[in-house]
Amino acid sequence: MALESEVLQISVWRGDGLSGGFEAYEIPARESQTVLDAVAFIQQNLDPTLSYRFACRVGMCGSCAMMVNGQPRWTCRTHVQKVAKTGRIEIAPLRNLPVVKDLVTDMDPFFEKWIAAEGVFHPTRTREEEIAPIDPRTPERQRADEGIECINCAVCYAACDTVAANPDYLGPAALNRAWTLVNDAKDGARPAILDAVSKNGGCHNCHSQGSCAVFCPNELTPIASIAGLKRETARSWFGKGARNA
Amino acid sequence: MLDLRLYMLQRLSALVMAPLALGHIAVMIYAVQGGISAGEILSRTEGSVGWGLFYGAFVVAVSIHAAIGVRVIAAETLGIRGVSLAALGWLVCLGLLAMGLTAVFSVTA
């Protein structure tokens, strides 16, 4: 597919979280060019002070997510042709995260919420013991498998309006991770995970708008994982009530 | 801002509200067949423990449900947090409870 113009008009956010603005650049349009290619071209040829983050360039590491024309995308796998119908692209740092400089966001709040959601593996065996056999056909394992391809890119976190309105909310990625562990036969802290996602900023704050599932580049459905957590925590709530009675 | 306890309270209060709202609508449709006056309604509700409990339960469920909903909206759109948010929630809950129970008492006592 040929581009409408041979020059791309790229508008890039320059500055930090407190001040800054969009700066315009013109770059040559090329066949099979990605948005990350466009950013790299600007940094390598027009302005070496432009800061951005990337690593693998093949959609595995989750480093290069940015806002492209107002929508969160993994820029290494987003073709310019897909987003620049009029030959113009606006590139900004990921929404809902503090900006360090230009297109680089501070990912600390994002990963701190993974830990707050108990999104860390809780082993039940030591390395000296045999590896636990896992039957891939069990419903629990299949539920876990549906969510484990997350690459931690924070696209869902940037897309989530609940995160924007409620900074305490753990967000779709951390809750999706918690759900995979709740369903992981090898994880030994199911009650602790359910407690962690039941607190003030937990899964119950989700409004089920579904932007996470719409924008996830790996086509995961965090909204379904969050619904699963709501179901399981409600079940555990009734269970606790019965035990306390 | 919405923990498991508030989430369950809101869901359970909805569970109570739904059949009561349907019962209210069904009785209204049945009762107004051929027209009905305020006096006729009062003659049936005054002194009725059943209707008092029916609408009393509805008022309690609405007060809990709406207060939690308003609390979420206030937090997300106005940025209210902490003690102010808790105070607003309780104010809405107790306000609805007082107004609703006064109305129920007035027509069923």
What digits encode the pLDDT tens for the residues A25-43?
A: 999 999 999 999 999 999 9
* pLDDT score of B37: 87
At A245, is the pLDDT very low, low, confident or very high (cuts 50, 70, 90)?
Answer: very low
Give A224 to chain B, closest Cα distance, Å: 18
What are A178-193's pLDDT values in tens digits? Answer: 999 999 999 999 999 9
pLDDT for residue A243 is more than 60? no
Q: How far is CA A195 from the centre of its chain?
A: 23
β-strands A104-105, A99-101 pairing: antiparallel
* pLDDT score of A130: 93
pLDDT for residue A171 is more than 80? yes
Exposure of A43 by Cβ count < 10 A (0-12 exposed, 13-18 middle, 19+ buried)?
middle
Nearest to A199 among B3, B11, B77 (CB): B3
Q: Complex ipTM, two decimals?
A: 0.87
pLDDT for residue B2 is more than 80? yes
User: Which H or E run contains B4?
Assistant: helix B4-31
Higher pLDDT, A207 or A243: A207
At B36, is the pLDDT very low, low, confident or very high (cuts 50, 70, 90)?
Answer: confident
Above pLDDT 90, what percent of chain A?
A: 90
Q: How far apart are the first and last CA of chain A?
A: 68
Assign residue A15 a region (left: φ > 0; alpha: ψ between -120 and 50; beta: otherwise).
left
* pLDDT score of A4: 53
- Residue B5 and residue B38: Cα distance in Å, rounded? 41
* pLDDT score of A1: 47
**Mean residue pLDDT across chain A:** 94
Q: What is the mean pLDDT of residues B35-61?
A: 92
Cβ A204–B7 below 8 Å, yes or no? yes
* pLDDT score of A240: 66
pTM for the whole structure: 0.91
pLDDT for residue A137 is more than 50? yes
| Tokens linked to A104 | 């680089």
Q: Measured between beta carbons, which residues in chain A are less than 8 angstroms from residue B14?
A: none
Residue of A162, A163, A166, A169 to mutate, interface with B, max B Cβ within 10 Å: A166
* pLDDT score of B109: 86
* Cβ neighbours for A172, distance < 8 A, ≥ 6 positions apart: A156, A157, A160, A206, A212, A222, A223, A225, A226
pLDDT for residue B108 is more than 70? yes
Strand partners, A5: none
- Residue A50 and residue A54: Cα distance in Å, rounded? 13
Q: Measured between beta carbons, which residues in chain A are less than 8 angstroms from residue B12?
A: none
SS3 A78: coil
- Residue B48 and residue A100: Cα distance in Å, rounded? 67
